[in-house]
Amino acid sequence: MKKNKFFFVIFALLFVASLSFSQTIKIKIVETTDTHGAIFPYDFLNQKPSNYSLANIQTYIKAQRRDTSRAFLLFSDGDILQGTPVVYYSNFIDVQEPNICARVMNYMRYDVGTIGNHDIEAGHKVYDKVKKELNFPWLAANAVDVRTGKPYFQPYAVFVRKGIKIAVLGLITPGIPNWLPPNIYKGIEFQDMIESARKWVKIIKQKEKPDLLIGLFHSGVDYTYGGEDEKTYKNENASLLVAKKVKGFDVVFVGHDHHGWNEWTTNDFGKKVLIIGGTHSAIVFATVNIEFSLNGKNKVLKSVNGELIRSNKFPPDSLFLKKFSADFAKVKKYVMQPIGVFENAISTKSAFFGDSPFVDLIHEIQLGITGADVSFAAPLSFNAVIKKGVVYVKDMFKLYHYENFLYTMRLSGREIKDALEYSYANWFNQMKNPEDHLLKFENAKGNSPERAKPILAGRFYNFDSADGIQYVVDVTKPAGKRVKVIRFLNGKKFDLNKFYKVAVNSYRGNGGGGHLTRGAGLTKEELAGRLISSTDRDFRSYVIDWIKKHKVVNPKANNNWKVIPETWAEKGKARDWKLLFGAGEK
């Protein structure tokens, strides 16, 4: 009897001990975002090695996978299909093969991704094909098929790792119709992120009952960007708003703005949510380490810690490079095709301060192709140089960075002037004396020790100038009253009340940057009605054809516009040039 009682006591003690036993479960998640074709550690435009790429990140990933004490997940947060000759070649030239992005990401064993706006920009043929080729779900709950009312891409994905159920909701920035031609996203409606998140979080919680809810959003954090605010419907950068206003998220991965985020926010329900995301071009990626305490059937989230890591800390993976060496060779051969000769070197640097050979070459080609009266264009690269002599396909990616179409639109003289006023209001500072900045800075010293470079208030790809007309920009005057159009370059009168044909890229023509909407005051519906014609392929391909036809090109500024007072502008230029580019040739 005593013996049975002894065993009963031992059994009871063991049972009680088992109830109090707590197991720790670890999960590691890596997010790459806005890789923009940075697959190889190589700069195809300047024909030299680089120290960042997915090949570098693969070295880190392989090391993490070897640690079997924790679960591991690899996420992509969009914009994989645009940015380098590598993806351009796979998207539009070598179209019979599976897309290189699909092959690379399948090789790296991504678990899930969210599609980005630059992936949509590649067009239906490209992203529909890639969607089929990926071995993992491509998400976007708020990209809705207008025929069915259901998401065009998968809305969310669920993973079970070491007994922990993880749900990942994907959302894409809804600003796409403001930038891209409608045929590119035909049949898709991009809905408000907050509304979509509320709908799908409710579904996920009821149907899946996850232990961990993660947002994978191709959208930025600063919801005030571009003059928007937290009440703006279909806010472009609504990731933080979703994290705060929609109950249930533990971690929100972000992208789109190339900023690099690792910070906590407290949502409207009193819970802390980690906001994290890398930068762009595989330079900085994000990692999150998560720990759960498992006690019986009880799963308690103990800790969440985020870190941003630079890929140049790791050498490129040799097996990765070997696997895709044939792709590398094909692209290198493609970009080194000669297309013509430049009699002068051109640089984007001078385009920040006035009329320039770089942007005027774009104007010349746009006017030549469209026969328009006026051309709008901006420098699409921050610090690009095309050397004198033979020019190659690679140089055209410097001259024109994006796969925009070329539009011909009908705009009044008043709308042309107002669009220019808008451009220069975001581009140039109002100079009160010769010692002021010429350029408009958000912070001339940078916003942190890590980001010590000067920060311009506007994005340089929105610094539109015009050609076909002669005008001056008086930087002593307030925004909205700086531009005086004198005449057309052919001597004809410029009439504010007459309508003219204007060449613009499709980004601008659809409202991108706000020049034609906030500046000229046109609605989205009015913009569509002003479109006269569009190219049938990206403008860069037309530029290549144009240079091949002309063979020898002499890029030069025609000085159709200038900044006044000129002595003030020169002093401001000298100062701001050093801030942006250091000492050097002007």
What percent of the chain clears pLDDT 90, i.e. is strictly above it? 91
Q: What is the CATH number of the domain that holds 545?
A: 3.90.780.10
| 319 and 353 fall within a common domain | no
Residues 355 and 222 in one domain: no
Binned at pLDDT 50, 70 and 90, residue 584 comes out as low
pLDDT tens for 428-449 read 999 999 999 999 998 877 654 4
Chosen domain end from 270, 303, 331: 331
Residue 378 sits in the same domain as residue 265: no
Residue 452's pLDDT band (cuts 50, 70, 90): low
Same domain (yes/no): 237, 348: no
**12 found inside a domain:** no
* Token pair listed for 511: 């409202």
pLDDT at residue 4 in the model:
53
Domain that holds residue 370: 338-581
pLDDT of residue 20: 47
Question: Among residues 310, 331, 352, which one ends one of the domains?
Answer: 331
Q: Which of 75-84, 154-163, 482-491, 575-584 has the lowest mean pLDDT?
A: 575-584
Would you state the pLDDT for residue 297?
79
Burial class (CB in 10 A: 0-12, 13-18, 19+), 8: exposed
CA-based nearest residue to 413, from 288, 304, 502, 299: 502
The pLDDT confidence band at residue 17, using thresholds 50, 70 and 90, is very low
Tens digits of residue pLDDT in 58-109: 999 999 999 999 999 999 999 999 999 999 999 999 999 999 999 999 999 9
Is residue 9 in a domain? no
Rounded to an integer, the average pLDDT of 363-388 is 97
Mean pLDDT in the chain? 94
pLDDT of 18 > 80? The answer is no
Whether 409 maps to a domain, the answer reads yes
Distance CA 251, CA 213 (A): 7
Q: Which percentage of the chain shows pLDDT scores above 70?
A: 95
Indicate the DSSP class of residue 296. Answer: T
Position 265 scores a pLDDT of 98
* Cβ atoms of 205 and 249 closer than 8 Å: no
Q: Are residues 257 and 159 part of one domain?
A: yes
Q: How many Å apart are CA 29 and CA 50, to the nearest integer?
A: 26
pLDDT at 446 (0 to 100): 61
Residue 91 half-sphere exposure toward CB, CA atoms < 13 A:
24
Domain tally, the chain: 2
Mean pLDDT confidence for 381-387: 94
Query: Which amino acid belongs to residue 586?
Result: K
State the Cα–Cα distance between residues 146 and 357, nearest whole angstrom: 45
* Amino acid sitting at position 290: I
Mean pLDDT of 138-144: 98
In a domain, 14, yes or no: no
Q: Is 7 inside a domain boundary?
A: no
Q: What is the mean pLDDT of residues 339-360?
A: 97
Mean pLDDT for 108-114 is 98
pTM value is 0.90
Do both 202 and 271 map to the same domain?
yes
Confidence of residue 13 (pLDDT cuts 50, 70, 90): very low
Are residues 504 and 431 part of one domain? yes
Peptide bond into 565 cis (omega under 30): yes
Mean pLDDT of 253-260: 97
Q: Is residue 244 one of the residues assigned to a domain? A: yes
**Same domain flag for 393 and 316:** no
* pLDDT exceeds cutoff 50 at 9: no
Residue 50's pLDDT band, with cuts at 50, 70 and 90, is very high
Do residues 327 and 362 both lie within one domain? no
Give the pLDDT score at 539.
97
Assess contact for 342 and 386: CB atoms under 8 A. yes
5 is a domain residue: no
Q: What CATH number should be reported for the domain holding residue 88?
A: 3.60.21.10
pLDDT of residue 582: 87
221-231, pLDDT tens digit by residue? 999 988 899 99
Q: pLDDT for 288-309, tens place per residue?
A: 999 999 887 789 999 999 999 9
Mean pLDDT of 449-465: 83
Q: Are residues 316 and 353 in the same domain?
A: no
- 443 located within any domain: yes
Average of per-residue pLDDT across 166-176: 98
State the pLDDT at residue 8.
47
Look at residues 499, 488, 487, 524 and name the one whose alpha carbon lies nearest to residue 410. 499
- At 191, the pLDDT band (50, 70, 90 cuts) reads very high
Q: Is pLDDT at 463 greater than 60 in this prediction? A: yes
Q: Are residues 178 and 91 in the same domain?
A: yes
Looking at residue 514, what DSSP letter applies? G
Give the confidence band of 586 by pLDDT, cuts at 50, 70, 90. Answer: low
Question: Is 214 in the same domain as 165?
Answer: yes
Domain boundary among 314, 331, 348: 331
